[in-house]
Structure 1
Amino acid sequence: MFRLIALVLVALLVLLQVKLWAGDGSWRQVEALEAAVAQQRDENARLKLRNDALAAEVDDLKTGDDAIEERARSELGMIKPGEVFYRVVEPQHPARDEGRRP
């Protein structure tokens, strides 16, 4: 009788260990899910920062003339009346051989 109880307990212990290491909710699966959750939290934090920056930019465009003026100057090349537009063109230097001296 004692051997039968011990055998049943050992079998139960083995079944629980198998479930712990290889079944649903095993250690490996829990660790993989925790890593996925951490990665998603990092992605969410990055996207929240981007969304906050975009919301601030939208607010600036709705309320402030400075942001609109900056966009008009940089993206559309507009200038105010009475201003003079100067374009600075950098001279292109021909490729020099390292062995020659100028």
Structure 2
Amino acid sequence: MKYVSQLVLIVLAVVMLAGLQYQYWLGENGHFAHNELRDQIQEQQALNDKQMAANELLRTDVHDLKNGLEAVEEHARLDLGLIKPNETFVQMTTAPTTHSRY
């Protein structure tokens, strides 16, 4: 009878240990779920860093537009094709040239 109770305790301990291991590795808040969340956090952090850099560029652009005419002139030249009086307009293409033998 003494050995039966010891066997029951050992079996109970093994079952509890297996349950705890299952919970640790495969449970809702287990090890694999934790790793997935950590990967998602790293991806989101990378997206946030890119967005913060873009926001900083826009802030700098807004500051330049508010405080100086050089930025306004640059935007007018690039976006609207501004050409001042007594300036010569030269347009260069970056398209590849093709030569035909015919």
Q: TM-score, normalised by structure 2?
A: 0.79
Q: How many residues align?
A: 96
Match runs of 1:56-67 below 5 Å? 56-67=60-71
Task: Describe the shift of the 1:88–1:40 C-alpha distance in structure 2 as closer, same or farther (beyond 3 A).
Answer: closer
Q: 1:86 aligns to what?
A: 89
Match of 1:86, SS?
Answer: coil
Coordinate RMSD, CA, aligned = 2.3
Query: Which runs of no fewer than 5 residues in structure 2 stay unpaired?
Result: none
Which of the numbers 33, 36, 42 marks the counterpart of 2:40? 36
Structure-2 separation of matches of 1:41 and 1:94: 45
List per-residue Cα deviations over 1:6-28 (Å, max 9, x = no partner). 12111100111111222111221
Structure-1 separation of matches of 2:98 and 2:14: 84
Query: Which runs of no fewer than 5 residues in structure 1 stay unpaired?
Result: none
Match of 1:87, SS?
Answer: coil
Q: Is the 8 A contact 2:25 2:31 kept in 1?
A: yes
Structure-1 separation of matches of 2:23 and 2:98: 72
Task: Describe the shift of the 1:3–1:94 C-alpha distance in structure 2 as closer, same or farther (beyond 3 A).
Answer: closer
Q: TM-score, normalised by structure 1?
A: 0.79
Match of 1:61, SS?
Answer: helix
Match runs of 1:38-53 below 5 Å? 38-53=42-57
Matched, 1:12 2:12: no
Q: 1:54 aligns to what?
A: 58
